[in-house]
A and B are shown apart, each in its own frame.
Chain A
Amino acid sequence: MSEPATTPADPGTGQPVLRTSGLSVTYANGAVGLEDVSLSIPEGTITAVLGRNGAGKTSLLRAIAGFLRSEHVTVRGQVELAGRRVAAASPMKMHRLGVVFVPERDKVFPGLTVSDHLRLVGSGKGDQPDALSFDWIEGRLTSRAGMLSGGERQMLALAMAVRQSPRLLLVDELSLGLAPVIVKELMTALRRLTDVSGVPIVLVEQDAAAALRIADRVFVMDHGQVVWQGASADTDAGEISARYLGVTR
């Protein structure tokens, strides 16, 4: 059922920012989250991870960010960040090493104001706020995040993420519940971020078309395994959606 894996042409900027080999995750109740996932994320690229619900996309992100290690889950395999083994690193350590995770749900603090959010994570590198700044934020500094719309929350979450000086940005289901025009704006901002600062992004998405528009490379997951990988240029969103995401036109 799976396509023969094709290795895309590497931008060749030296060692990848992230590399996993044989990453496997098994939950306490026996369920398999990931099975033998090996991938590498080079600098300055956006990687889309596609798949349906339960395919293991979120498990992958959480495993990379170190959150699964602390929750009674068995994790096997290697994770290397800039060539450095981070097998048993705690989430805090991973965060210090620059892995920033933007979750799918609860991505802002409803009771805190917008300016609180920005203060909380401190100021990022000089140019990054420009690369991912949203004009409306200046005007809403005193608003509580709980009052923001879905799109605004997502933007705030990304603005927060950028200010954490990420070396690797993991974004989970950015498009959920958002209007297409907002999704497009967010995706464009992400592309600009990577282009300007070189920070690689791993983008977990259900909206294959939106993700492919900005991604360099694609991994498709099903039942915890990588079933397709390739350059986004070689990937047909419609075909992927139909085959692996169960979406029929």
Chain B
Amino acid sequence: MSPQVATLITGTLTTGAILSLLSVGFVIMYRATKVVSFAQGAFSLLGGFTFMALTQDGTGLWLALVITLVVALAAGTVTYLVVFVRLVGAEPFITAIATIGLGTLIEACAIIAWGSGPIILPTVISGRVYHLTGSLTVSVTQIFIVVSAIVIFAVVITALRRTRLGLRVQAVADQPRLAAYVGINVVAITTLAWAVSSATAAVGGVAFLLTTQPSPDSVYSLGLVVFPAILLGGLDSVGGALVGGILLAFIQNLVITYANGTWQDVTSYGLLLLVLLIRPQGLFGSAEVSRV
């Protein structure tokens, strides 16, 4: 196996994991609340900075992760209960713009708190590298990231399909009014959707920081770059979020490896346009989605 192919594989899986995490958060929020969130990158940034602050202070990997998750869950909860609960019933146009405002506010506050330089994590994961076959090597970090993403997806999908809570979330996503009529606490479910959405974004942000040392802006931009993946998979499909994330990562890595890295963004967004024009519901999205 050529080194390029090896890098392509590991790069796709790692970046794919990161993109999928942000995508699934978006999809959960969109399905449950019909809100299109441009703020996923901001929650990623918030999670990333929190993790950085904790680990720089000496906190271990797992504890830092748990605390970051809690902070992100709280952030999502507060955001909904303070801001977006007042926008229930507003047109999608308005809520989307509101997420832009939210993202701007969060990013600015994060940078004020932690600075605008590149975010550097101390070593929290062993730097060990495993040689698989030929030139295919994976690092512990990459394994960690991919496994985390898989675990999270498994949890989300199981929760949605197998638990009473998941059923209620599906009900709220399907018909919010009727859900209220049958006694489902729609506010609680919506809050949960927001909390989970920002939590997955936060994990995605942490994963991103584990692979590189980005500027806050780059982390924030993750929330935008993820749109081609979301559209590709289907706006309202959880499984699609995973597939879309991996596919987009694959295409991006193809461009980086075999063409020119500067073409990465334009290819991603060109793909987005293609999906919009040819098949707006993506690979796995439902047909109603295209009639938004």
Q: Which residues of A contact B (CB under 8 A)?
A: 65, 67, 91-92, 95-96, 100-103, 106-112, 116, 119-121, 160, 164
Q: How far is the CB of B168 from chain A (nearest CB, A)?
A: 7
- The distance in angstroms between the C-alpha atoms of A96 and B183, with both chains bound, is 8
Q: Does B265 contact A (CB under 8 A)?
A: no
Give B160-198 interface residues, CB cut-off 8 Å to A.
164, 167-168, 170-171, 173-175, 177-185
Give B178-227 interface residues, CB cut-off 8 Å to A.
178-185
A-B contact pairs, 28 of them (CB 8 A): A67-B181, A91-B180, A91-B181, A92-B180, A95-B181, A95-B182, A96-B183, A101-B181, A102-B181, A103-B178, A103-B181, A106-B175, A106-B177, A106-B178, A107-B178, A109-B171, A109-B178, A109-B179, A111-B174, A111-B286, A112-B174, A116-B167, A119-B164, A120-B167, A120-B171, A120-B184, A160-B182, A164-B182
Q: How far is the CB of A157 from chain B (nearest CB, A)?
A: 9
Across the interface, which residues of A come within 8 angstroms of B177, CB to CB? 103, 106
- The distance in angstroms between the C-alpha atoms of A121 and B170, with both chains bound, is 13
Q: Which residues of B contact A (CB under 8 A)?
A: 164, 167-168, 170-171, 173-175, 177-185, 286
Main SS at interface, chain A = mixed
Across the interface, which residues of B come within 8 angstroms of A160, CB to CB? 182
| Residue contact B182 to A120, C-beta cutoff 8 Å | yes
Across the interface, which residues of B come within 8 angstroms of A101, CB to CB? 181
| Residue contact B170 to A112, C-beta cutoff 8 Å | yes
Please pick, from B164, B171, B180, B185, the residue contacting A112 in the complex, using a CB distance under 8 A.
B171
Main SS at interface, chain B = helix
- The distance in angstroms between the C-alpha atoms of A101 and B164, with both chains bound, is 21
Across the interface, which residues of B come within 8 angstroms of A107, CB to CB? 178
Q: What 10 pairs across the A-B complex have the smallest Cβ distances?
A: A95-B183, A109-B174, A111-B174, A101-B181, A109-B175, A106-B178, A106-B175, A120-B167, A109-B171, A121-B182
Across the interface, which residues of B come within 8 angstroms of A92, CB to CB? 180, 183, 185
Across the interface, which residues of B come within 8 angstroms of A112, CB to CB? 167, 170-171, 174
- The distance in angstroms between the C-alpha atoms of A244 and B33, with both chains bound, is 41
Across the interface, which residues of B come within 8 angstroms of A164, CB to CB? 182-183
- Of the listed residues A92, A109, A112, A160, the one surrounded by the most CB atoms of chain B closer than 10 A to its CB is A109
- The distance in angstroms between the C-alpha atoms of A160 and B182, with both chains bound, is 8
Q: Indicate whether A116 sits within 8 Å of B170 (C-beta atoms), given known contacts A103-B177, A103-B178.
A: yes
Q: How far is the CB of A150 from chain B (nearest CB, A)?
A: 16
| Residue contact A111 to B170, C-beta cutoff 8 Å | yes
Across the interface, which residues of B come within 8 angstroms of A110, CB to CB? 174-175
Across the interface, which residues of A come within 8 angstroms of B164, CB to CB? 119-120
Across the interface, which residues of A come within 8 angstroms of B183, CB to CB? 92, 95-96, 100, 121, 164
Q: How far is the CB of A30 from chain B (nearest CB, A)?
A: 20
Q: How far is the CB of A5 from chain B (nearest CB, A)?
A: 31
* Chain B minimum-CB-distance residue to A91: B180
- Of the listed residues A67, A95, A164, the one surrounded by the most CB atoms of chain B closer than 10 A to its CB is A95
Across the interface, which residues of A come within 8 angstroms of B167, CB to CB? 112, 116, 119-120
* Chain A minimum-CB-distance residue to B185: A92
Q: How far is the CB of A29 from chain B (nearest CB, A)?
A: 16
- The distance in angstroms between the C-alpha atoms of A102 and B180, with both chains bound, is 11
Q: How far is the CB of B183 from chain A (nearest CB, A)?
A: 4
Please pick, from B168, B173, B185, B286, the residue contacting A120 in the complex, using a CB distance under 8 A.
B168
Q: How far is the CB of A153 from chain B (nearest CB, A)?
A: 11
Across the interface, which residues of A come within 8 angstroms of B173, CB to CB? 111
* Chain A minimum-CB-distance residue to B181: A101
Q: How far is the CB of B240 from chain A (nearest CB, A)?
A: 15
* Chain A minimum-CB-distance residue to B179: A109
Across the interface, which residues of B come within 8 angstroms of A121, CB to CB? 182-183
Across the interface, which residues of A come within 8 angstroms of B185, CB to CB? 92
- The distance in angstroms between the C-alpha atoms of A101 and B173, with both chains bound, is 20
- The distance in angstroms between the C-alpha atoms of A65 and B181, with both chains bound, is 9
